[in-house]
């Protein structure tokens, strides 16, 4: 089962990144207030981007790399094939 790295836009304008093996279910959890602590306090508006990975380990590594980027570079991360 593939894993996904995803980027959400929150109501406060911030981005939130995470990984999951079921993107629809995880987004629904964030919307209902049962997701991460951050998205309970700052509800998401939409999924900005997502990218599939073959396993949890590679998705987690990609998440670390994404979180190191500046805000203005985060969306372009999903367009690159080298991540």
Domain positions in the chain are: 3-77
Helix (H) or strand (E) holding 24: helix 23-31
The tokens for 21 are 């093996």
What three-state secondary structure class fits 81? coil
DSSP strand pairing (3-10 vs 15-20): antiparallel
Check residue 80 and give its pLDDT. 74
User: Phi-psi bin for 21: left (phi > 0), alpha (psi -120 to 50), beta?
Assistant: alpha
Fold of 3-77: GIY-YIG endonuclease (3.40.1440)
Which residue do the tokens 């599939």 mark?
Answer: 52
pTM of this prediction exceeds 0.75: yes
Q: What digits encode the pLDDT tens for the residues 16-32?
A: 999 999 999 999 999 99
């Amino acid at each position: 089962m593939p894993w996904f790295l995803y980027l959400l836009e929150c109501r406060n304008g911030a981005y939130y990144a995470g990984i999951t093996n079921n993107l629809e279910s995880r987004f629904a959890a964030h919307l209902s207030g049962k997701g991460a602590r951050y998205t309970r306090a700052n509800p998401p508006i939409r999924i900005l981007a997502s990218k599939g990975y073959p396993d949890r380990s590679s998705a987690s590594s990609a998440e670390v790399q994404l979180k190191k980027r500046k805000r203005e570079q985060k969306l372009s991360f999903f367009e690159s094939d080298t991540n």
